[in-house]
Amino acid sequence: MTDTTTRVAIVTGGSGGIGRAAAERLATDGFAVVVHYNGNKERAEETVRAITEAGGRAVTAGGDIADETAATELFDTAAREFGGVDVLVHTAGIMPLSPLATLDLDVFDRIQRVNVRGTFVVGKLAAQRLRPGGAIINFSTSITRLQPPAYGAYAASKAAVEAITLILARELRGKDITVNTVAPGPTATPLFLEGKSQELIDQIAGNNPFQRLGEPGDIAEAVAFLAGPARWVNGQTLFVNGGAA
């Protein structure tokens, strides 16, 4: 099935958390969605099932987004199934935590490969293949401003994402493609909650004026804004954290 009039989105990391919420939110806006996963096909299929049962269109596609061949197949899937691609929502990333003094450098390299190289690879492909009127939406984190201990390698990778975003926005002059970054604050996803005590979660939740964690749906609203009406927002990092930073 192909339809060049339908807007099409690729959502990396769409098998759960913020990625799933973004995929479902875009589907409600009429997007056909390619739900990317790397290791959890079953959860990606659950996202697709939720979209299709609500009347939308979606397919899964797997692969390592830091591998150019695998990432190319992701874009090929969008073209084959839906006729092209208009929006890239790049949520895929990893967040191992450790103080710098004890950080295993193999872990550091893995963080940079997934978070930095992955952003570079999919951004490169999106720059080549998105249709006019499109949008690239990368993901950073409010940690780049909050800067707590143990987040050094992760924060470094996401600061790089913010730099890549602005540079790519400027490089796409004349293409009618926006490039922005969403930087969530603490959000109730498995990635954030894993390994934290309830006491720590409550403490973190109290650090913003709303005194709660963000929900994936809160972040998905910002994605929908940047994917749709926000044509004059370009090269920006949008902090979506309830006022925590």
Active site members: 154
Question: What number of CA atoms fall less than 13 Å from residue 184's CA on the CB side?
Answer: 25
- 């092209």: which residue's tokens? 84
Non-local CB neighbours of 24 within 8 Å, separated by 6+ positions: 47, 50, 51, 54, 220
User: How far is 70 from 175, CA to CA, in rounded Å?
Assistant: 25
